[in-house]
A and B are shown apart, each in its own frame.
Chain A
Amino acid sequence: MALKPILALSLLLLASAANAESLLQPKGKADALLPVDQAFQFEGARSKGKAIALDWTIAPGYYLYGHMFKVTVDAPAGAAAPTLQLPKGEAKHDAEFGDVTVHRGVLSVPLGFTTRPRTLRVQYQGCADIGVCYPPQTRIVAVK
């Protein structure tokens, strides 16, 4: 009976049809990328009691550099910049930048401060594993 070849061919055709969309997508290492705010979703300042933390969700295949985080206080004016208690992160060696730390996935950065900030200016910068980098981002965030 010739039903087996027919079944195999049918499955092949169905698989091809299911892939129709991906075949229409641009190919190549950097042809399709997330916009910066989806690659590095900054979720603002989370306040719990006296503690404040800054939260990000970093998409798979993307990372933020530990040394590129910078937080200053916009209000109250003149308040000292908070200290950042970055988690351990992932060691990465780069031929240009040497040994650096990068952060992936869900990232929460507790802040240390003497005067409680009301408004923070947060800077961060990261790249995609496929070999492109996004410009440094600055966000101004209210602390509630």
Chain B
Amino acid sequence: MSGFSRQAALVAAIAFAAGAAGFWTARWMPQAEVAAPQPAVTAALEGQQAPVLRLPDTTGKPRTLKDWPGKWLLVNFWATWCAPCMHEIPAFIATQAKYEKANLQVLGVAMDDVDAVRTLMQDKGFNYPSLVGDEQVQIIMEQFGNTLGALPYTVLISPDGVIRTMELGGVDALKLDQLMQRFLPL
């Protein structure tokens, strides 16, 4: 065997051993029981039919997603006590204004007190409706793939009722615009 071949064989052997060690470490090493972050969103729901969402709006009228037939629904879970939720509201207002003609309906779902929600919607100049609930919203969020119940959380649903994408954490106008351009370009 030439010197080069011996070196190549040595490199291949080390690579195999390193790969095996990495796989073994990843697969079998004991994991810490406490403080282990977990995926916060069940991405497997993408492409699946959206679960039933039944909650009252701010007037107390019971609503479901079927109340907006034929629309792309951008469902934003939020609360008045959630600072990142407050920061992204102007972006949702702008998105509703810009993409309404492309068949978009932004829909808030607040985990909050209805009076606080009504006041805030007026102060912020909401141009889209919001449903309201308390612990029930947390259960609904879990059904929509948010396993930790953290806010803000946004789900895009196509007119056929299928979940297209989900986002945990705040979004800005640029990100929402990119999302809209991807799914429902003007």
Contact A26 B150 (CB under 8 A): no
Give, as a whole number of angstroms, the nearest-CB distance from B126 to chain A: 15
Stretch at the interface among A9-17, A78-86, A105-113: A9-17
> Does A49 interact with chain B (Cβ within 8 Å)?
no
Residue contact B87 to A96, C-beta cutoff 8 Å: yes
Q: Is B179 an interface residue (CB 8 A)?
A: no
Contact A131 B169 (CB under 8 A): yes
Q: Is A53 an interface residue (CB 8 A)?
A: no
User: Of residues 124 to 142 in A, which have CB atoms within 8 Å of B's CB atoms?
Assistant: 125, 127-128, 130-136
Q: Mark A18-52, 1 if CB is under 8 A from B, else 0.
A: 11110010100111111110100000000000000
Interface check B149, CB cutoff 8 A: yes
Q: How far is the CB of B11 from chain A (nearest CB, A)?
A: 6
B150 to chain A, nearest CB (A): 4
Known: A10-B11, A21-B25. A35 touches B84 (CB 8 A): no
Interface size class of B (residues with CB under 8 A): 35 or more
Cross-chain pair count, CB within 8 angstroms: 117
Residues of A that sit less than 8 Å from B by CB: 2, 6, 9-10, 13-14, 16-21, 24, 26, 29-36, 38, 59, 68, 94-97, 125, 127-128, 130-136
- On whether the beta carbons of A33 and B148 are closer than 8 Å, the reply is yes
Q: For A35, what are the chain B residues with a Cβ–Cβ distance below 8 Å?
A: 38, 148
B105 to chain A, nearest CB (A): 24
Most chain A CB within 10 A, of B22, B39, B138, is at B22
5 extra interface residue pairs, beta carbon distance < 8 Å, beyond A95-B86, A132-B152? A14-B21, A20-B19, A21-B25, A128-B150, A131-B170
